[in-house]
Amino acid sequence: MLRVRVISLFPEMFAALTESGITRRASEHALVEIEVLNPREFSEDKHQSVDDRPYGGGPGMVMRVEPLKKAVEAAQSSLALPREQVLRIYLSPQGRRLDKVGVNHLGSIAETKGLILICGRYEGVDERFLATEVDEEWSIGDYVLSGGELPAMVLLDALIRKLPTALGDEQSAEQDSFENGLLDCPHYTRPEKWSPHEGGSNETLVVPEVLLSGDHKRIADWRLQQSLVRTWLRRPDLIEALKARGEFSPELNEILQAGLQKN
Ligand SMILES: C[S@@+](CC[C@H](N)C(=O)[O-])C[C@H]1O[C@@H](n2cnc3c(N)ncnc32)[C@H](O)[C@@H]1O
């Protein structure tokens, strides 16, 4: 089970994760346990303040060490695990950029350890808190959001999808983009023929014939070729990465070249 404690000034935001879709089902099936602690409840002043003005002046506010530290300690005891069995992560635009390798890495850590995810707000948190209470910093990309809640949910969703029984159909995670170093192939569903301009031109878009053939080998070959062409056109860096790892075989190159000629 993925055991997570989140430190956030906006606990209600996490309903988006626990009350919808795959992540909701994972919570209901006890694959994941998420508890959100609000640092405001650990503030000892009468206004329950969690932030203060920055030393040195300048705009914005900074989250104070004390309420955050107490919230993290409460999260630690609620996990009931020793310190070394908990990974404390601060979501930060200055952290390591999350990608598939990072998700897999954190997923394997979470198999044996609890996670505490700390969401910043305002200008960020007092540096002394990061220096003493946080193990790792992770970013979801080179842009700045108003708070760490959405990044924490992005990270959690990515981790939950990877849990063995979280997805109804085990196959669907394996076929996702990046799993084999390539982008996913295109998908189609009913109807077989569809016109984008109702009553207008008689242009009709049809499902590729191979997908209706029932021939599993041909379908798998077509999907691989589509993935290769799509990756080459949209993300040539992924093809280069496969080559650098020695995973882009002459056979794959042949399938790609044949696909490019058809396109
Ligand atoms: C407005 S941001 C503070 C940004 C900070 N002043 C900086 O430039 O590095 C407030 C909080 O949002 C979160 N945050 C913003 N962008 C993020 C990103 N790309 N990845 C992860 N967390 C992010 C962090 O927790 C941060 O403390």
For ligand 1, the distance from its centroid to the CA atom of residue 108, given in whole angstroms, is 25
Distances 143 to 14, 91, 125 between C-alpha atoms, Å: 21, 13, 17
DSSP 183: P
**Residues 130-156: tens digit of each pLDDT:** 999 999 999 999 999 999 999 999 999
For ligand 1, the distance from its centroid to the CA atom of residue 137, given in whole angstroms, is 11
Average pLDDT (227-238) is 98
Ligand 1 atom closest to the Cα of residue 119 is: 25
CB 183, CB 224: distance < 8 Å: no
Residue 136 beta carbon below 6 angstroms from any ligand 1 atom: no
* HSE-up (13 A, CA, CB side) for residue 53: 5
- Write down the pTM of the prediction: 0.95
6, 145, 154: residue to mutate for ligand 1 pocket, most atoms within 8 A of CB: 145
For ligand 1, the distance from its centroid to the CA atom of residue 42, given in whole angstroms, is 22
**Residues 28-38: tens digit of each pLDDT:** 999 999 999 99
**Residues 58-115: tens digit of each pLDDT:** 999 999 999 999 999 999 999 999 999 999 999 999 999 999 999 999 999 999 999 9
Average pLDDT, the chain: 96
- Topology of the domain comprising 175-262: Trp Operon Repressor; Chain A (1.10.1270)
Looking at residue 171, its pLDDT comes to: 59
The residues of the chain that CATH labels 3.40.1280.10 are: 2-160
Active site amino acids: 93, 123, 161, 176
- Choose among 235, 253, 233, 254: nearest CA to 243: 253
Please check the confidence at residue 170 and state whether its pLDDT lies above 70: no
The strand order across the sheet containing 114-119 reads 32-37, 2-7, 114-119, 86-97, 136-139
Q: Which CATH superfamily is domain 2-160 in?
A: SPOUT methyltransferase, trefoil knot domain (3.40.1280.10)
The residues of the chain that CATH labels 1.10.1270.20 are: 175-262
Other beta carbons within 10 angstroms of residue 15's beta carbon come to 11
